[in-house]
């Protein structure tokens, strides 16, 4: 990885303009290695989801091009990663007919873009578009394994109708056990992982019997990807937030707080004299997001809008971002704050509730490795 880092540090955490994203390189590497090792031991393919990281610099560590296979959440990500050398991309959001023009542009450039459909009309539109444009395409059918977001049930009649509409473009099945986010322990993650695998195998068996053999059986979420269930027949696993983890994932037991690689660097901008338990920082709703996922976890694991760390990344016990306005965050302490700390100009780092929306507000990561030295800037691809 040495080529990524300049010989001299780019800057330091006490000089960066705030608010901004800080990424701990060592923790990122450990999270990537743990997932890769787990899946390698289980002899299943891996297609990391870049919906959280949205960065070629990070994707290069997780699944380097040109062989690396990636999952993306927008067609802008697909375009960006194709531009940066990846050729095997899965756009894992149900494809609406309105996006066929963008899909066609990628296919025409030779990108091996897998798409996802869960409705016979979408499948027919994709098939007809590809035939008219004389473009090869490959699509997976989305299976609902209990998440009740997108997808068709594996035992449904629609499953076969969609495969027939796709015709030669049919490539397999995919599912996402999003219900794992509602689990609170390893047994819960394993149950969701089992539901993912069972749903895909049932769908693939029915499709096979109808003359549609699946090349790809793709499943995953960060909590389920690390669960120990039988993956016989499954060809690949997807996961995204595991690269950074966050307070919500720590709260449900999918990781430890010490695994969190992402934080928001902020400056103390207010210290009200009459409110000795509080200070204001320049990271508010925009820099942290208004995601309150941990509210569902109850007292003790609810971090408000984020846990507060010192500039070196050490968690400051009891301090959390209690309230946010657009550009202000209010940090509240359970005990009166010492007079000499958290003065205007002091800096803190906030561990976010949910890493995905927090990251999405920022255009780059400032990469550190256990010290205050900034080793690199890695840019992101946001929006659509």
Q: Classify 219 in phi/psi space as left (phi over 0), alpha (psi -120 to 50) or beta.
A: beta
Residue with tokens 């901004």: 20
Tell me, letter by letter, the H, E, C secondary structure of 260-324. Answer: CCEEEEEEEEECCCCCCCEEEECCCHHHHCCCCHHHHHCCCCCCECEEEECCCCCEEEEEEEEEE
Instruction: Choose between 86 and 342: whose C-beta lies nearer to a copy of itself.
Output: 342
Q: Binder to a copy of itself among 31, 38, 55, 74 (CB under 8 A)?
A: 74
Give the list of residues 6+ apart from residue 294 with CB closer than 8 angstroms, or none.
247, 248, 251, 301, 302, 303, 304, 353
Q: Please, which of residues 197-236 interact with a copy of itself by CB under 8 A? A: none
Instruction: Choose between 155 and 208: whose C-beta lies nearer to a copy of itself.
Output: 155
Instruction: Choose between 250 and 268: whose C-beta lies nearer to a copy of itself.
Output: 268
Instruction: Choose between 38 and 380: whose C-beta lies nearer to a copy of itself.
Output: 380
Instruction: Choose between 298 and 383: whose C-beta lies nearer to a copy of itself.
Output: 383
Instruction: Choose between 40 and 295: whose C-beta lies nearer to a copy of itself.
Output: 295
Decide: 308 and 278 in contact? Cβ < 8 Å.
Answer: no
Give the shortest CB-289-to-a copy of itself separation in angstroms: 6
Give the shortest CB-293-to-a copy of itself separation in angstroms: 9
Coil, helix or strand at residue 131: helix
Q: Please, which of residues 25-54 interact with a copy of itself by CB under 8 A? A: 51
Q: Please, which of residues 90-149 interact with a copy of itself by CB under 8 A? A: 93-99, 101-102, 118-119, 121-122, 125, 144, 148-149
Instruction: Choose between 152 and 231: whose C-beta lies nearer to a copy of itself.
Output: 152
Give the shortest CB-233-to-a copy of itself separation in angstroms: 26
Give the shortest CB-377-to-a copy of itself separation in angstroms: 14
Give the separation between CA 359 and CA 214, rounded to whole angstroms. 35
Q: Please, which of residues 250-289 interact with a copy of itself by CB under 8 A? A: 267-275, 280, 282, 285-287, 289
Sketch the per residue contact string, 288 through 317, with a copy of itself: x for CB under 8 A, - otherwise: -xxxx-------------------------
Cβ-count burial of 60 within 10 angstroms (0-12 exposed, 13-18 middle, 19+ buried)?
middle
- Which H or E run includes 332? strand 329-332
Instruction: Choose between 38 and 249: whose C-beta lies nearer to a copy of itself.
Output: 249
Instruction: Choose between 62 and 324: whose C-beta lies nearer to a copy of itself.
Output: 324
Instruction: Choose between 112 and 271: whose C-beta lies nearer to a copy of itself.
Output: 271
Residue with tokens 């066609």: 104
User: What torsion do the CA atoms of 147, 149, 152, 156 make, to the nearest 10 degrees?
Assistant: 60
**Which of these segments, 3-11, 151-159, 167-175, 211-219, binds a copy of itself (CB under 8 A)?**
151-159
Give the shortest CB-15-to-a copy of itself separation in angstroms: 8
What are the Cα distances from residue 184, in Å, to 35, 124, 190, 258, 317?
A: 20, 40, 11, 18, 23
Return the number of other C-beta atoms located less than 10 Å from residue 44's C-beta.
Answer: 19
Name which of 325, 338, 334 is nearest 281 in CA terms.
325
**Which of these segments, 18-26, 30-38, 58-66, 207-215, binds a copy of itself (CB under 8 A)?**
18-26
Give the list of residues 6+ apart from residue 17 with CB closer than 8 angstroms, or none.
none
Name which of 353, 254, 255, 356 is nearest 50 in CA terms.
356
Q: Please, which of residues 318-377 interact with a copy of itself by CB under 8 A? A: 325-328, 330, 343-345, 347, 356-357, 360-363
* Total chain residues near a copy of itself (CB under 8 A): 67
What are the Cα distances from residue 141, in Å, to 104, 112, 207, 337?
A: 19, 17, 10, 55
| Site residues (vs a copy of itself, CB under 8 A) | 17-20, 51, 73-75, 93-99, 101-102, 118-119, 121-122, 125, 144, 148-150, 152-153, 156, 158, 178, 267-275, 280, 282, 285-287, 289-292, 325-328, 330, 343-345, 347, 356-357, 360-363, 382-384
């Amino acid at each position: 990885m040495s080529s990524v880092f300049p010989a001299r540090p780019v800057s330091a955490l006490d000089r960066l303009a705030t608010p901004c994203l800080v990424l701990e390189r060592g923790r990122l590497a450990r999270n990537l290695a743990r997932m890769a090792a787990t899946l390698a031991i289980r002899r299943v393919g891996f297609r990391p989801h870049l919906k959280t990281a949205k960065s070629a610099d990070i994707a290069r560590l997780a699944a380097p091009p040109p062989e690396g296979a990636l999952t993306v959440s927008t067609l802008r990500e697909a375009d960006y990663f194709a531009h940066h050398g990846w050729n095997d991309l899965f756009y894992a959001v149900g494809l609406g007919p309105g996006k066929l023009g963008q899909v066609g542009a990628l296919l025409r450039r030779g990108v091996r873009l897998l798409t996802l459909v869960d409705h016979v009309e979408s499948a027919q539109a994709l098939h007809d578009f590809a035939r008219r444009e004389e473009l090869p395409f490959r699509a997976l059918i989305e299976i609902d394994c209990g998440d009740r977001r997108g997808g068709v049930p594996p035992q449904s009649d629609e499953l076969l109708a969609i495969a027939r509409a796709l015709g030669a473009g049919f490539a397999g099945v995919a599912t996402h056990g999003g219900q794992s986010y509602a689990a609170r322990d390893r047994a819960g993650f394993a149950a969701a992982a089992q539901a993912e695998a069972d749903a895909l195998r049932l769908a693939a068996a029915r499709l096979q019997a109808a003359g549609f053999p699946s090349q790809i059986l793709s499943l995953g979420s960060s909590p389920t990807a690390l669960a120990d269930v039988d993956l016989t027949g499954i060809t690949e696993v997807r996961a995204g937030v595991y690269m950074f983890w966050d307070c919500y994932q720590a709260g449900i037991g999918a990781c430890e707080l010490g695994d969190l690689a992402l934080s928001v660097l902020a400056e103390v901008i207010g210290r009200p004299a009459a409110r000795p338990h509080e200070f204001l920082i320049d990271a508010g709703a925009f820099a942290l997001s208004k995601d309150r996922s941990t509210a569902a976890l109850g007292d003790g694991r609810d971090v408000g809008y984020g846990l507060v760390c010192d500039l070196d990344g050490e968690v400051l016990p009891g301090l959390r971002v209690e309230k946010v306005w657009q550009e202000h965050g209010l940090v509240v302490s359970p005990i009166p704050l010492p007079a000499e700390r958290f003065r205007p100009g002091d800096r803190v780092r906030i561990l976010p509730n949910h890493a995905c929306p927090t990251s999405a507000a920022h255009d780059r990561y400032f990469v550190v490795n256990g010290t205050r030295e900034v080793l690199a800037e890695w840019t992101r691809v946001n929006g659509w």
